[in-house]
Structure formats: C-alpha cells, structure tokens
Amino acid sequence: MGAKLSVNINKIATLRNSRGGNNPDVVQVAIDCQHFGADGITVHPRPDERHIRYQDVYDLKKIITTEFNIEGNPLEDKFVQLVLDVKPEQVTLVPDAPGQLTSNHGWDTIKERDYLRQIIGVFKKAGIRVSIFVDPVEQMVAGAADTGTDRVELYTEDYARNFHKNKEQAIAAYIVAANVANQYKLGINAGHDLDRDNLAYFSGSIPTLLEVSIGHALVSDALYYGLENVIQLYKRALK
C-alpha cells in the first residue's frame, strides 16, 4: 500500500495570515485535501501563532475524517493542553525553540529520556499515539525506544539537501536508523523537505515507512499543478 501522506497545512495559514481575513480558509483546505486523497492532516501551531492558530486546531478537529497529527514542543503548557483537549490520532513532539523559523533537529533521546518518558506518558494515557522527532542517528533511535514513544519521525532535511549530490549516500544513515527502529518495534514516520523529486527514492529505500508529513513543497507544487493533482502525485511517489 505504501506509506500514508499527511498534508501539513501550515503554509495555507501563513498565506491567510499575511492578508488578514479568512482567505484561504484552512478548514476548507483541509476538507478538500482529504477529499483529494490525503490520508491525514498535519498542523504545527507555534506560540506566536504566525501560521496555524490554536483556534484553527479546535476548528479542524470537527472536520477531520482521516487522521489528525498535531506537531509541537511539549515544553509549552498551552500546546500540551491543546493536544489533550483535541485528542488527535497522533501528536508529534518536536524540540523547537519558541521563535524558531522551522524544525531543524531531533530530540537528544538519551539526555532527555526522563522528560520524554513523563510527557509521552501524559499523551498515551489520553489515548493519543505519540511520535518523536529524531535525527537519523543509531543512538538517538535506540534511545527513543526507552522513552515509551510509539513512533519516531526521521528528520529528513539532511537527506533532501544531499539527494541530488549522491542519493545512495544521502539515504544511508536513514536506512540504518530505520533498521534500528524496526529492531525496537518502533513505527517510522518521516518529514522535512521531502518533495516530488526525492520522495519515491526515500519511500522505496525504507519499506517499513508508515507516514510522511509534507507541507512546504507540496503547497509550492500546488501553485503550478493544482492541489488535487499534487496530492495524487505525492501519493503515487509513496507507492
């Protein structure tokens, strides 16, 4: 069947916020993405609400018919409460600093083990599947297995940056990381800078990949090819 495609709609909210008002309507876009074949919707609300707003998350919950994935830093009490209120199918924990432009590293699952155990337990008690953002490093993936998380999300910026230079070399660390995750029976997600060019090779190299969340590249492609067409192009790449 291939991995599932969760569409991150943060960039839709960025466009809306740049002008004020409600155009484009992020709720309607989420409805349309699901209608066009997306397997899930991802949002990453940040404390300054520069794209997805906290109210958006509550509004989106009402229309999700696939899977809802909320990303964010659990050090923010407001984020934790939001997730517990909404109860998405999955929460993805990302160690972002408050003013960070975009996610750029995974958890140190060894140093942060005790904290991760505690906060992951909070979400799992509420019946929410947990994924944590990790770099493709054997020790970090092995450490994740000791936190109680259900899945790891492999941070793929390094892969994307090096894909056109040497794709075999670019994927190597991710194959090793995936093998470690398989050994510990951790589910595998992936995300960050995956696009139409590099997605098929990544997916084909990691057959146990369960889900990718893609926003920036997919929304950028939609400007040229249309949202419905692009979602299908990405889904085909995953097969």
CATH classification of the domain holding 28: 3.20.20.70
CA distance 161 to 54: 31
pLDDT for 2 equals 87
Catalytic residues: 44, 71, 192
Average pLDDT, the chain: 95
User: Per the structure, how many domains does the chain have?
Assistant: 1
Domain containing 200 equals 4-238
Closest of 164, 234, 231, 173 to residue 206, by C-alpha: 173
Q: What letter does residue 73 receive in the DSSP assignment?
A: -
CA dist., res. 168 & res. 174, Å (int): 10
Q: Band of the pLDDT at 134, cuts 50, 70, 90?
A: very high
pLDDT, one tens digit per residue, over 151-186 is 999 999 999 999 999 999 999 999 999 999 999 999
Confidence of residue 101 (pLDDT cuts 50, 70, 90): very low
CA 79/CA 47 separation, integer angstroms: 8
Cα–Cα dist 75/62, whole Å: 26
